[in-house]
Amino acid sequence: MSVKRLIRSGWFWGAVSLLGVTLAVFGYTLSLRGAVDELVREQLRVKQQFVRVLEAVRAPGDLPGAWTKVLEQQEQGKLLAARANNLPKPSSQLRQELSARYGAEILALQDKYRAEIKRIRLDVPGGRQFCDDLEKLAEGPDWSLMYQGQSP
C-alpha cells in the first residue's frame, strides 16, 4: 500500500483525529490538575498570611490593625472560594495526591491558628471579643471554605 493511498483512506484520518482528541483531552486534564494545584498552593499561602496576622497580635493596640488585615484576608478567601467553585470537582485520586502533598502543612497551620486564637483570647486584653468577632465572621459561606479545617 503506498503512502498516498494510505493518506487518502478514511482509516488514516480517523486514527489521526482520534489521536488529536486524545492529546487534547490529556492536555486539558493536565491544565486542570495544574489549576487545582495552583489554587491549593494559593490557599495555603493565604492561610500562612492569616496565621502571621494572628501571631503579630501581642497587645490591645494590635487588634484594630489585625482586624483590618483579617477583613482583607476575608476578601482574598472569597476570591479563592469563587475560583474553587468555578473549577470542576477534583477526582478522588487528585484529592489524595493533594492531601499527601499539602495535608501535613495545612494541618500544622490549622493547629497554629487554633493556638494563636487561644493565646489571643487568654493573653491579650480585648482578645476575647476579637476572637468572638472572628468566629462570627468565619461563619460566612465563603470564609468557612478557607479557614474551618477544610483540607484539599
Residue 119 lies in a domain: yes
Domain span including residue 137 = 36-147
Residue 22 lies in a domain: no
Q: Which helix (H) or strand (E) holds 13?
A: helix 10-55
Residue 9 lies in a domain: no
Does residue 78 sit in helix, strand or coil? helix
Residues 96-144: tens digit of each pLDDT = 988 899 989 999 999 999 999 999 999 999 999 999 888 888 776 544 3
Residue 85 lies in a domain: yes
Residues 27-47: tens digit of each pLDDT = 888 888 888 899 999 989 999
Residue 30 lies in a domain: no
Give this prediction's pTM.
Answer: 0.74
Residue 46 lies in a domain: yes
Question: Total domain count for the chain?
Answer: 1
Residue 16 lies in a domain: no
The sign of the dihedral angle between the CA atoms of 12, 14, 18, 24 is positive
Residue 54 lies in a domain: yes
* C-alpha torsion 89→92→95→96, nearest 10: 180
